[in-house]
Amino acid sequence: MITINNIFGQHCARFRIVLMVLLVGIVSACGDGNNEASNQPILIKFPHVTAPGTPKGLTADHFKAVVEERLAGRVTVEVYPSGQLMNDDDSIDALAFGEVQMIAVSLSKLDRLTKRYQVFDLPFLFPDLDAAERFQAGPARDTLLTAMVESGLRGLAFWHNGMKQFGGPLAMTSPEAADGLKFRIMESDVLQEQILQMGGNPQKMAFGEVYQALQTGAVDAQENTWANIYSSKFFEVQEYLTESNHGYLGYLVAVNETFWQGLPADIRAELEQIVAEVSAWGNAQAKDVNDGALANIVASGRSEIAQLSDAQYQVWAEKMRPVWDKFAADIGADMIEAAQAAGRP
């Protein structure tokens, strides 16, 4: 598939955004492209990068099943898991151009379109998934969901994956352990700063390349959820995994704005309802899916699992505070305060 990424490479982000906004305008002017008028079912192509057994994989498949039952003959959903259609970066462009209709991309990877989601990447901000969920349901919800409408992406919901853990050649019970390590990170400036603050060397890299990069030593270390570490087999190429719960990995479920507004009103309303139900279903089981993945990793005996004591957790959290300071002005003190409050139920 030809996307703006392929044509111009990874480093022209600003140019790509401008071009994307222009092309979204042209696509909008050319109509919505949905098939209802021709009596064909409306097609929702939904690519994502994780395995079917992860929180996102399970929820995407459940969405397809519910849509095709409740809107039988009117809407069809094609889910493409495991990056088999495209990587996340390309899927953001493909959604804006209407090549696909729905995505669920990590909030971290939307950094190039909006700074609003940077709050989700602040280390040691959300203590658990419940805190992130309270924040997502709070007063900031609508602002966050509609932050990229001008770029052609409308957010419908937030889905959890889980809390992130560190993996590498040694136990990361203190920040010093990370000194000098090459860390794979998602495409986020906050995560980049987090690794620099740890004394590591951050490497932004697509999810589908991580296993091989760890295996060949192109990177030494990574951070991800138990569900991703297990399903993508990172545990097979990481000597130590540290249960650090230091950050949140969640997704924005987004649709192409032109496609969405062009849907018949009854179908749009039903899809909205289904997304809400399916999101609640998926988010309610995300923690269990991650706990199950951790149990499977432990049972495999392939990597050593280290835990952080409360005191070690506090040392980590304090060491990472300058990352908050660096991004506080962009994110907004009120947003950070609301996120912190969500962690103090």
Nearer to ligand SIN, 136 or 228 (CB): 228
* Binding of ligand SIN by 293 (CB under 6 A): no
**CB of 87 closer than 8 Å to CB of 118:** no
Q: Is 195 in the site for ligand SIN (CB under 6 A)?
A: no
Member of 207, 226, 240, 259 binding ligand SIN (CB under 6 A): 207
User: Can you name the residues that pair with 252 across neighbouring β-strands?
Assistant: 105, 158
290 sits near ligand SIN (criterion: CB under 6 A): no
Of residues 42 and 107, the one with the C-beta less far from ligand SIN: 107
First-to-last C-alpha distance (Å) of the chain: 46
| x/- track of binding to ligand SIN for residues 38-57 (CB under 6 A) | -----------xx-----x-
**CA separation for the pair 51, 230 (Å, rounded):** 10
Does 186 help bind ligand SIN (rule: CB under 6 A)? yes
Full DSSP string of 147-211: TTGGGTEEEEEEEEEEEEEEEESS--SSGGGGTT-EEEE-S-HHHHHHHHHTT-EEEE--GGGHH
Q: How far is the CB of 327 from ligand SIN (least distance, A)?
A: 20
For the beta carbon of residue 199, count every other beta carbon within 10 angstroms.
14
- 158: nearest Cα among 280, 273, 340: 280
164: helix, strand or coil? strand
Minimum distance from CB of 44 to ligand SIN (Å)? 18
272: left (phi over 0), alpha (psi -120 to 50) or beta: alpha
In whole angstroms, the minimum distance from the beta carbon of 90 to ligand SIN comes to 13
By C-beta, is 224 or 238 nearer to ligand SIN? 224
Q: How far is the CB of 333 from ligand SIN (least distance, A)?
A: 28
Q: Which of residues 15-34 bind ligand SIN (CB under 6 A)?
A: none
- Applying CB under 6 A, the residues found at the interface with ligand SIN are 49-50, 56, 106, 161, 186, 207, 224, 228, 249
